[in-house]
Chain A
Amino acid sequence: MKGTILRGSLSGGFDVRLAIGENIEEIKVGTFCVVEGKRYDFFSMVVDEEIEATNPQVLYDTFSDNPLIDEIVMGTGVIEKVKIQPMIMIDKLEGGVRPVKSIPSHMSPVRAAIDQDVFTIFGEPDEDHFHVGSPLDMEDIPLCVNLDRFIERSNGIFGKSGTGKTFYTRIMLCGMIKSQKANVLVFDVHNEYGWKGSSEDIGAEVKGLKQLFGSQVAIFTLDEKSSKNRGVRPDFVVEIPYRAIEPGDIALVWEELNLNPTALESIYILQRYLGSDWLLTFLKMDVQDIKDMTDEVNASQASLQALQRKLMALERLPFIKENPADDAVKRIMEYLDNGINVVLEFGRYQNNMLAYMLVANILTRRIHERYVTRSERAQAGQGEMNKPLVIVIEEAHKFLSPELSNQTIFGMIAREMRKNNVTLLVVDQRPSGIDPEVQSQLGTKIIALLTDERDIEAALSGSSNARMLRNVLASLETKRQAIILGHAVPMPVVIRTREYDFKFYEDMTDGLIDDDEDFTGKRFLDDMAEYLEDNGDVQVDVSDIDGIEELFKG
């Protein structure tokens, strides 16, 4: 792309007149270009394209009978304009990037961006900068997200169904796990992250986090049978005690349980009356018990009986137990404290919103409590600060809708930012369903194709160039293209995400792998080495794959 600045303003962006001979068809919205000013290079993004005539009459006179005249008029009488939005300025004199606060002069030359421009702004891949993809039409140039900044705040991944949200999430999870900058806790409602997932693109299975990171990832499950059927060996089977369920948790799933506001109020009364074991006690009550209670709490017997009937839906969830064998929260905390990331699979409850919301809310609330206590202690100088924890929730609008976001723990986490080192990674297909207040607190957003106006508006809320980005967002391809904007990137950027393929596996496992067919990650080998050393009292060379296999067989 070659051209010159035709006109423009700081707020509205610039019009670039394409140089004669440039083919506008090859310039795609979302690609990058650089305006070479006298002191600054203005790194900009193409946001719109237009045909304009110096004299409007030119547009209406047709010259198709004379190609020579067509050629003369194109580029002089009729000009092709590219609208660009300056995103960031590179100081050529002193170095460094800064926000755009001035504009280049008329006729400043404009050129396509090159790798060095991208590196100056987004950084080169290293421990802090995670390679997530490449800028549009610059396939060979790695574009990085600053991981430190990414985990500092709650983030969102949005996109219509089928646009690869899971895929983006998986990539970001890999980045965070590999960097060891944060622990992740994934509520894997569709069983896609733990051991293996499926790729709609290649129609094949892809490796999950456990396969890539071995002992760094633990798989928890709500449904041991389903996990085993899928060939997964879960580290822990989660059971939820009745007494862990609080009225707030029930309020969250009112829709799934078909409860009305009066019933919700009764629940709070029940808790006050029956104490911490309220739910189990209530569910076990017979008609007479309820009648007795009715008199004391001054409630209607019929409505309490109806409430009991509805709450019985919880009894059909086998993982809710009266006396669980082990405390899931304690286990999760143990794993997280040891730097092990946790993926909680929902097995056959993947379409059961009641199970998902209830479990996610209960576990998160209790984990969050522990983090808060610890961070308060750390602030008082007693003990260490928490290692950052990123909690991944899908179908996030269920938890963060304007009606519920004040009640759920997730709303609170999103609002309090990184105070306690717990942040969310919100994955959703309907960003408009998320409370605007929560939306505005999301630090970094990865947005794939959205078509609904309200969703686009919601996803872009809080970004300064929303109007410009709208066009870009609507023109994204269905697959493997997304905008990243917010805290972790210096400027909004459209990326073509990297392939989740063998090369990626290799990067994530530091290159120590067998072949694609018989994949063994480095950390898996570490596990085997550890196991052998513990059990056989032998020294193992981790880089000697065959040797380990031999020993293991032995």
Chain B
Amino acid sequence: MIGEIIESRTSEFIVETVEYDFKLPYGSFIRTVDDNRIIYGIVAGMSTTSIDNNVRAKAFFKSLDELKLEQPQIFSLLRTEAYCIVLGHSEGGIFKPYYPPNHPTLHLQVEFADDKEIIEVTESFTYLLKTISCKDADGEELTAAALRKAASLRENRRQYLVEAGRELFKILDYDTQKLKSIMERVDVI
């Protein structure tokens, strides 16, 4: 387990990680098992904040080691959250690149998706539409991160990127500048 769902919507959910200092890599693919369905998402943003929404953490101007010795209690007032968007779900072992009928149940446990699952999720390029149009995060950055991960798992990375790029180019309405800016951030080949 790497975290638990603490807020859930059809298109997105928020995961609190197991420790305040346990950070999920940006753009990593995650999954949660909801009854007989596995819901897949991608980490679109991380934040570490105070537990109390009304109180912001205070600056102590000391090193982390000093703080851990002198003020160990302040760390338990922090939490780290991952903002994830839903990419699709799988039922009966078949991945479906669209939202599940029900949004994820709260307090479900969240895991990293394994490589095989990531390959399955990124086989069709529908996920690019979700990453690029994600509302609360930088779509281009997220798309580049997803492509980096997806391509790195392929044997023929270049071929995968070319095919994904063609799909992306259409989604971007043939905007070459945007395509260029995204593809330049995919440095896995």
Q: Which residues of A contact B (CB under 8 A)?
A: 20, 53-55, 57-58, 61, 63, 66, 68-69, 71-73, 75-77
Q: Given A55-B174, A76-B174, decide whether A68 and B166 contact each other with a Cβ distance below 8 A.
A: no
* 23 A-B interface contacts by CB (under 8 A): A20-B166, A53-B174, A55-B176, A57-B176, A61-B176, A61-B177, A63-B180, A66-B183, A66-B184, A68-B158, A68-B161, A68-B162, A68-B183, A69-B179, A71-B165, A72-B161, A72-B162, A72-B165, A72-B169, A73-B169, A73-B176, A75-B166, A76-B174
Contact yes or no, B189 A77, CB < 8 A? no
Other CB < 8 Å A-B pairs besides A66-B183, A72-B166, A73-B176, 19 of them? Answer: A55-B173, A55-B174, A55-B175, A55-B176, A57-B175, A58-B174, A63-B176, A68-B158, A68-B161, A68-B165, A69-B179, A69-B180, A69-B183, A71-B162, A72-B165, A72-B169, A76-B166, A76-B174, A77-B176
Chain B residues whose C-beta falls within 8 Å of the C-beta of A57 in the assembled complex: 174-176
Report the nearest A residue to B164, measured CB to CB.
A72
The smallest C-beta distance from B18 to any residue of chain A, in angstroms, reads 38
Considering the chains assembled together, what is the distance between the CA atoms of A20 and B162 in angstroms? Answer: 11
Considering the chains assembled together, what is the distance between the CA atoms of A53 and B162 in angstroms? Answer: 18
Grouping DSSP codes into helix (H, G, I), strand (E, B) and loop, the B interface class, with mixed when no group exceeds half, is: helix
Contact yes or no, A72 B173, CB < 8 A? no
Considering the chains assembled together, what is the distance between the CA atoms of A92 and B64 in angstroms? Answer: 80
Considering the chains assembled together, what is the distance between the CA atoms of A66 and B176 in angstroms? Answer: 12
Report the nearest B residue to A54, measured CB to CB.
B174
Chain A residues whose C-beta falls within 8 Å of the C-beta of B169 in the assembled complex: 72-73, 76-77
Chain B residues whose C-beta falls within 8 Å of the C-beta of A68 in the assembled complex: 158, 161-162, 165, 183, 189
B58 within 8 A of A: no
Chain B residues whose C-beta falls within 8 Å of the C-beta of A54 in the assembled complex: 174
Considering the chains assembled together, what is the distance between the CA atoms of A61 and B168 in angstroms? Answer: 17
Interface residues of B in 87-126 (CB under 8 A from A): none
B170 within 8 A of A: yes
Considering the chains assembled together, what is the distance between the CA atoms of A69 and B165 in angstroms? Answer: 8
Report the nearest B residue to A67, measured CB to CB.
B158
Chain B residues whose C-beta falls within 8 Å of the C-beta of A66 in the assembled complex: 180, 183-184
Considering the chains assembled together, what is the distance between the CA atoms of A352 and B165 in angstroms? Answer: 71
Chain B residues whose C-beta falls within 8 Å of the C-beta of A20 in the assembled complex: 166
The smallest C-beta distance from B122 to any residue of chain A, in angstroms, reads 17
Considering the chains assembled together, what is the distance between the CA atoms of A71 and B156 in angstroms? Answer: 15
Considering the chains assembled together, what is the distance between the CA atoms of A332 and B176 in angstroms? Answer: 76
The smallest C-beta distance from A238 to any residue of chain B, in angstroms, reads 73
Chain A residues whose C-beta falls within 8 Å of the C-beta of B168 in the assembled complex: 72
Chain B residues whose C-beta falls within 8 Å of the C-beta of A58 in the assembled complex: 174, 176
Chain A residues whose C-beta falls within 8 Å of the C-beta of B183 in the assembled complex: 66, 68-69, 72
Considering the chains assembled together, what is the distance between the CA atoms of A57 and B174 in angstroms? Answer: 9
Contact yes or no, A72 B174, CB < 8 A? no
Chain A residues whose C-beta falls within 8 Å of the C-beta of B184 in the assembled complex: 66
Task: Output the residue of B173, B175, B177, B189 with the most chain A CB within 10 A.
Answer: B175
Considering the chains assembled together, what is the distance between the CA atoms of A73 and B162 in angstroms? Answer: 9
Considering the chains assembled together, what is the distance between the CA atoms of A54 and B176 in angstroms? Answer: 11
Contact of B174 among A69, A71, A77 (CB under 8 A): A77
Chain A residues whose C-beta falls within 8 Å of the C-beta of B158 in the assembled complex: 68
Considering the chains assembled together, what is the distance between the CA atoms of A6 and B161 in angstroms? Answer: 26
Considering the chains assembled together, what is the distance between the CA atoms of A58 and B176 in angstroms? Answer: 6
Report the nearest A residue to B170, measured CB to CB.
A76
Considering the chains assembled together, what is the distance between the CA atoms of A68 and B165 in angstroms? Answer: 9
Chain B residues whose C-beta falls within 8 Å of the C-beta of A73 in the assembled complex: 169, 176, 179
The smallest C-beta distance from B125 to any residue of chain A, in angstroms, reads 12
